[in-house]
Chains A and B, each alone.
Chain A
């Protein structure tokens, strides 16, 4: 498997593709995004992810004239050798039908040219919807997206069983952005299974409640092991979001984040730089857990995880 992944970022003009890319991969914070202008044709970005993997992001401008071009004259160039298509919908769009038709055309083009590509749809700008209506709106949009996905896939069903994509709701103003992107990169990282196995064993040794592995640059969750259930399903993304912002503020001060400890009477949490490409977070159900003990064990586990990461 090549370590270079071609990732298409598509969607209608102004739906927020460049904003989310900038937050996740270019250390922007949400309010900086108002400065971004519209993307002309295609912007290419190479981002290093997990050290040896390069995500080649094709940020495709969403104005209609560009879209027509992508689907006609540049069809081969754009849709060949794609590993992932991320299609962004503006939840507030007044012409959702039209967006969906564009999506269908893009998906058809993709399935012809890169039949093995994975497809993720983000229903974006969810923060504009009133909180109690979000889930309902999302469900409605998701159903429509899935319907159009099937329309695109039906003529090619012999070649591809499952063109039906996964949908996520997202907003750059809260942790949903991290949840969506973590789920996407989860599919891109090799050896995730092995990593999660090892994390489980590591957690058992430490008597931990939970161990989470974050990618170093983006702070996206790439693997986790839950040894005791926790009631908040959004905790990973919240941590990603908070720590990433803290890390950025450290960078502004000219220093580098190395580790964080948080304790109360019920638990201790340790965030520590781990392998070359990751940070690890360990939650122990003991407010007096020994920090040097955890640190020592983290250092010992580092070798094992570095070996998994560098495995081809």
Chain B
């Protein structure tokens, strides 16, 4: 079982020093949880769908995609796979050091890997 509250607590832990949003969603782009500042123009479930579609496009050519970094004018989003079926994304401001953002992404994904694997492994 995956508790919404527990998941939100874990995701929220990375939202410090420049990081202001973290998503967990599935490869279809459906949001499981978002923690962070809500953007005015784009709802979190829309951005998760967009990120999933970007991922799918980049993965179509070679299915060994591990991680993506999107550098945009107003911020950075890093994204990786958790437990084969889920995606984790983190948004940070442009000033944040990218190494720190990636370190957060990696430790969060490592932390979530086992729990998510155990609840999703026999769902096919």
Seen from chain A, the residues whose Cβ lies within 8 Å of a Cβ on chain B are: 205-207, 288-293, 296-297, 299-301, 303
Q: Which of B4, B25, B32 contacts A207 (CB 8 A)?
A: B4
- The residue in B4, B25, B120 that gathers the most chain A C-beta atoms within 10 A of its C-beta is B4
- Rounded to whole angstroms, the CA-CA distance of A300 and B120 in the bound complex is 8
A292 touches B31 (CB 8 A): yes
Interface of A is mostly: helix
B119 touches A293 (CB 8 A): no
Given contacts A296-B120, A299-B123, contact A205 B31 (CB under 8 A): no
**B66 at interface (Cβ–Cβ under 8 A)?**
no
B31 touches A297 (CB 8 A): no
Residues of B close to A297: CB separation below 8 A: 1-2, 119
- Rounded to whole angstroms, the CA-CA distance of A255 and B2 in the bound complex is 31
B1 touches A290 (CB 8 A): no
Nearest-Cβ distance from residue A177 to partner chain B, whole angstroms: 36
In this complex, how many residues of chain B approach chain A with their Cβ under 8 Å: the count is 18
Given contacts A205-B3, A300-B1, contact A293 B123 (CB under 8 A): no
Residue of A nearest to B122 (CB): A303
Given contacts A205-B3, A297-B1, contact A292 B32 (CB under 8 A): yes
**B112 at interface (Cβ–Cβ under 8 A)?**
no
Residues of B close to A296: CB separation below 8 A: 2, 32, 119-120, 123
- Rounded to whole angstroms, the CA-CA distance of A289 and B5 in the bound complex is 11
B30 touches A205 (CB 8 A): no
Nearest-Cβ distance from residue B85 to partner chain A, whole angstroms: 10
- List 8 A-B pairs, Cβ < 8 Å: A207-B3, A288-B45, A289-B4, A290-B32, A292-B25, A293-B7, A296-B123, A300-B1
- Rounded to whole angstroms, the CA-CA distance of A288 and B28 in the bound complex is 18
Q: Mark B22-38, 1 if CB is under 8 A from A, else 0.
A: 00011010111100000
Given contacts A205-B1, A205-B3, A297-B2, contact A290 B120 (CB under 8 A): no
Residue of B nearest to A299 (CB): B123
A293 touches B120 (CB 8 A): no
